[in-house]
Structure 1
Amino acid sequence: MPCRGAEAPRLRVDDRRVLNGIYWRLRTGSPWADIPERYGPYTTCYNRFVRWRKAGVWDRLFDAVSMAYDGDVQMIDSSSIRVHQHGANGKKGTRRIPPPGREPDDRCMGRSRGGVTTKIHALVDARGLPIALKLTPGQAHDGRSAADMLDTLGGGDVLLADRAYDSDALRLEMAARGVWANIKPMPGRKRRPPFSAFLYRYRNLVERFFSKLKHFRAIATRFEKHSENYLALVKLASAKIWLRLYEPVS
């Protein structure tokens, strides 16, 4: 006979219910504690989200769905996200948001004209679907941040980008790989490189990707203190955008 007062063993909450709870929170942007009970305890949803993030589940999920990208034309851009006050406040003893000109911390938060912000960098394919994602502080330069995001470009491909990426170093690197960098040149350039305004019009696909991404309220405003958790949410939302491509329309 069990001892008096002994509790019955708790059954493990089904992973599908927990995943639906994580997506509910991703879509609504509500605090983790507000996740409805039908998805299981909110602590279970948060703990498994973090555990799966540490195990690389969200990275592998995004990499798996994005392997079907169309690589002939790729576009890169960034979008600044306002950090909520609950996400900007760290624990006692941790470094706060550094002032402009100081070395940024590893939380990918920085000060810009919009206040405390985080910048999402995205490389998308010809259908506007994400291939590579990255976080930086809000004041980070777009051109320098793109250096490690262009590995998927090869001979015969085209890169579309706005003036923030206009640099001779980036153009030379792309030319060495056989990639045509159709980047809008800065107005003050003395030597204007070849530029196709017609092809540049298709760069709106990366802007539309950010618009879809910000439909998830937990992405449109950053509530996460840790950059790893926020990037995992960005990848989870991006995987959802990818999966819409394979959903039946009938």
Structure 2
Amino acid sequence: MELTKEHLERIKDSLPVERGNVSIDVLSFLNGVLYVAENGCKWRRLPERFGNWHTIYTRMNRWSKSGVWDRVFERLQKEGLVHLELKVVSLDSTSVKVHPDGTGAGEKNGPQAIGKSRGGRNTKIHLAAANDVHALGFRLSPGQNGDGPEGRELIGELGCPRHGCALAMDMAYEGNETRGLACLLGFKPVVPPNPLRRKPWKLNKALYRQRNHVERLFRRIKGFRRVFTRYDKLDVLFRSFVSFALSWLLLNSANRS
């Protein structure tokens, strides 16, 4: 994997201008971040060809705290939506194991969506997808949080969809509150009913099969070791790696068509 000048040209307007004596150019910096994201290595293990590891880490940390990676993702997302005929949105979550290096920060340092479940310490990524490369939005939560409440927060952030857009979800989202909010926003919920319901509804299986888009998107971003395992103590840095991975997919989506 490598970011090219063509990639940089598409996102440069969303990147801050580095002032002063800048020892590492933007493209080398971005490729250093890509190397860490893909391989999951420690910052100090960055190959020397990218430049000083501490300089790259410091800039990554600064850009994360100022929301640069979220802005890049949002820009590419809006560009992609222009060319999409959005008929089905798929919603789901995935659990990410937290490495011991990702624990131990004090609460005063910032939000840390890290919880405990039967599998140990983990973080959940809740994500809404238009297809297997195009995410519409995501949020983080501690691993023990339920999918229903977090899913409602996410679809609330998405806002009103285009007319007639279906929302494909698994049974974790089949509660009345989640389906009611989806309808209120203009979605057509496509979710299997709980077998214990007295009046189950008929499931549109053709639309429900498209829920695999979000599963395939999770598989793609978990190809980045820094997303597959959480090594970062604070949400602000882990979230940036998720945004970075999603942005990489959007940057390269044109090459897949």
TM-score between both structures, scaled by the size of structure 1? 0.86
Unaligned runs of 5+ in 2: 1-19
CA 85–130 in structure 1, closer or farther in 2 if over 3 Å, else same: same
Aligned residue identity for 2:135: P
How far off is 1:236 after superposition? 0.3
SS of corresponding position for 1:228: helix
CA distance in 1, matches of 2:171, 2:230: 26
Q: How does 1:168-183 map to 2 (within 5 A)?
A: 168-183=176-191
CA distance in 2, matches of 1:218, 1:127: 19
How far off is 1:59 after superposition? 0.9
- Cα contact 2:193–2:201 (8 A) shared by 1: yes
- Cα contact 1:143–1:165 (8 A) shared by 2: yes
- Cα contact 2:221–2:246 (8 A) shared by 1: yes
Larger radius of gyration between Structure 1 and Structure 2: 1
Determine if the alignment matches structure 1 residue 191 to structure 2 residue 199.
yes
**Richer in helix (by share):** 2
- 1:217 alignment counterpart: 225
How far off is 1:202 after superposition? 1.3
Aligned match for 1:86, one of 97, 101, 104 = 101
CA distance in 2, matches of 1:227, 1:133: 13
How far off is 1:210 after superposition? 0.6
- 1:208 alignment counterpart: 216
- Cα contact 1:76–1:122 (8 A) shared by 2: yes
Unaligned runs of 5+ in 1: 1-8, 96-104
Aligned match for 1:38, one of 49, 59, 63 = 49
Superposition misfits of 4+ residues, deviation over 4 angstroms: none
Aligned match for 1:156, one of 157, 164, 169 = 164
How far off is 1:237 after superposition? 0.4
How far off is 1:88 after superposition? 1.6
Please give the per-residue CA displacement for 1:158-216, whole angstroms capped at 9, x wherever unaligned. 00000011111121222223321001212211121332122211111111111111110
CA distance in 1, matches of 2:234, 2:223: 21
Aligned match for 2:38, one of 20, 27, 44 = 27
Determine if the alignment matches structure 1 residue 114 to structure 2 residue 119.
yes
Identity over aligned pairs, percent: 31
Aligned residue identity for 2:240: A
Matched length: 230
- Cα contact 2:191–2:203 (8 A) shared by 1: yes
How far off is 1:128 after superposition? 4.6
Aligned residue identity for 2:23: R
Aligned match for 2:150, one of 145, 148, 170 = 145
- Cα contact 2:31–2:50 (8 A) shared by 1: yes
SS of corresponding position for 2:254: coil
SS of corresponding position for 1:174: helix
CA distance in 1, matches of 2:22, 2:140: 37
